Chains A and B, each alone.
Chain A
Amino acid sequence: MTLFGLKVIANVFRFPFELDQIWSQMGEVGARSLPLVAASGLALGVVMTLHTRSTLVTFGASSMIPELQSLSFFVEIGPLVAALLVSGRVGASIGAVLANMRATEQIDAIEALSIDSFKFLVVPRVVACVLVMPLLTTFMDFCGLLGGFVSEYAMSHLSLQLYVTRAFTGVEWSNFIPPTLKTAVFGFIIGTVSSFFGYSTNEGAEGIGRAATSSVVVSSLLIILADVILVKIIFLVFPESAI
């Protein structure tokens, strides 16, 4: 799988750049994941506020709810949950589509037509995942804040203006940019792992199911592991981002 990932990186910078394919995959990975990411962000935002509110009210710190909400989403919840959601939806899809193409000889047909199937099928999917993940994460962060606002408004009738002001009071750029950009690595993991299982399988119909399952399980595990490492690196490079 490591060699597969390195082959992807080497091929990204090789002509032809497959811009049409990348654009089409960005639609597939990004636009089609938006409803899931939006719904999850809103629901998580509401739930997070419900959980934290009772504790903070006890200590008379209810005014910190928006700030806690924004920091939680920007720093960790948004990036990790968005990546796990995309790994479930997109990872399974990429794994199954490529495995089906392998099983039905479509990949062989591409090769027989003198087209580099790896460059045509795998590289655009990985690049699309890398480009789209930070955008989806940002979308999830703001949906989470919106959910938090809805919940807070229902409880305390806090105005939107005050909520936004409080939400961004203690937030530094270093709390937002590095955690959001780390999701590009998550995107690389999702795209590479799921393409690896889909592209490499050769077991017919049974292999399609196995490729889809393995894509989700392995990419989710690697995302969580990579998150631990990346958070440590972010703290080293941007010490001020530690809350």
Chain B
Amino acid sequence: MNETQDTAIALDHVSKSFGKKQVLRDVSFSVARGEAICVLGRSGTGKSVTLKLMIALLKPDAGRISIDEDDITQLERKELSRVRRKMGFLFQSAALFDSLTLHDNLALPLRRLTDKSKQEIEVIIDHVLGQVGLADDKGKMPVELSGGMQKRAGLARALVFEPQILLIDEPSSGLDRITASEIDDLLLEQKTKHHTTMVIVTHDVHCARRVGDRFAVLDQGRLAALGTPQELEHHENETVRMLVGES
């Protein structure tokens, strides 16, 4: 298999600005199929923007972003929709639809985008909610769920299409260490059992070291370092060493 076939996500000289503020400057890196890469960096360095660019929620000002072999910066809505079906996105705030029950949050994309019968949809929902330990809570509204439960519910929704690629924004933010560890376990399970390609934006080095194969460190909108945790521990850039260090 050649390198292109092995690459799930590729950013090629990507830049992005909001008004006069340049958030990403000429960022290039790729994620191999089945690999988990953690994006680290100080607040405001463009980590979440990178994630949103990968699923075309934002468009880059320059550069190319490929998912498998599709350049998503050039795709029409219909084609983009096909590419997005391969991807799951866990938002920092979980972003559950607050007017729908947990069950309906998961059922909505299945009802709209697949031809599955009601029974088949119920089986998928039960299975996915079982995976994240929320099988008994499917009738609850998002507001009735704790922060950790909302994160798990968001993850369940991201998993309903059995995505090949999972984009995860701050999986452990606002959670206690134990709950955060439970989320990490779910991500690890997804990675090892289903070989899902993952890009995880996080500030939590414990999570990053447990789940990530490689780290991409952003500093002032530039890719400051890319490598395994061991490689980056002795990196010449002090910010990189501080972000990657365990203490």
**Chain A residues in contact with chain B, CB under 8 A?**
16, 104-106, 108-116
Pick the most buried of B93, B95, B109: most chain A CB atoms within 10 A of its CB: B95
Contact check: which of B85, B91, B157 meets A114 at CB < 8 Å?
B85
Pick the most buried of A104, A105, A115: most chain B CB atoms within 10 A of its CB: A105
Contact check: which of B87, B96, B108, B113 meets A112 at CB < 8 Å?
B87
Whether A104 pairs with B95 at a CB distance below 8 angstroms is yes
- Residues of the B chain whose Cβ atoms lie less than 8 Å from the Cβ of A112: 55, 57, 84, 87, 89, 91
Chain B contact residue count (CB 8 A cutoff): 22
Say yes or no for B21: interface residue by CB 8 A criterion.
Answer: no
Whether B84 pairs with A106 at a CB distance below 8 angstroms is no
Tell me the residues in window 71-108 of chain B with beta carbons closer than 8 Å to chain A beta carbons. 77, 81-82, 84-85, 87, 89, 91-93, 95-98, 108
A119 to chain B, nearest CB (A): 10
Say yes or no for B52: interface residue by CB 8 A criterion.
Answer: yes
Contact check: which of A106, A109, A115 meets B89 at CB < 8 Å?
A109
- Residues of the A chain whose Cβ atoms lie less than 8 Å from the Cβ of B57: 108, 111-112
**Chain B residues in contact with chain A, CB under 8 A?**
52, 55, 57, 77, 81-82, 84-85, 87, 89, 91-93, 95-98, 108-109, 112-113, 157
Whether A105 pairs with B93 at a CB distance below 8 angstroms is yes
Whether B81 pairs with A109 at a CB distance below 8 angstroms is no
Task: Output the nearest chain A residue to B160 by Cβ-Cβ distance.
Answer: A113
- Report the Cα distance A108→B77, complex, angstroms: 14
- Report the Cα distance A16→B85, complex, angstroms: 18
Known: A106-B98, A108-B52, A108-B57. A113 touches B91 (CB 8 A): no
B113 to chain A, nearest CB (A): 6
A209 to chain B, nearest CB (A): 18
Task: Output the nearest chain A residue to B84 by Cβ-Cβ distance.
Answer: A114
Task: Output the nearest chain B residue to A20 by Cβ-Cβ distance.
Answer: B111
Whether B98 pairs with A113 at a CB distance below 8 angstroms is no
Task: Output the nearest chain B residue to A18 by Cβ-Cβ distance.
Answer: B112
Task: Output the nearest chain A residue to B92 by Cβ-Cβ distance.
Answer: A105
- Residues of the A chain whose Cβ atoms lie less than 8 Å from the Cβ of B89: 108-109, 112
Contact check: which of A105, A114, A115, A116 meets B95 at CB < 8 Å?
A105
Task: Output the nearest chain A residue to B110 by Cβ-Cβ distance.
Answer: A113
- Report the Cα distance A53→B52, complex, angstroms: 65
- Report the Cα distance A108→B51, complex, angstroms: 12
Whether A113 pairs with B109 at a CB distance below 8 angstroms is yes
- Report the Cα distance A16→B78, complex, angstroms: 13
- Residues of the B chain whose Cβ atoms lie less than 8 Å from the Cβ of A116: 77, 81
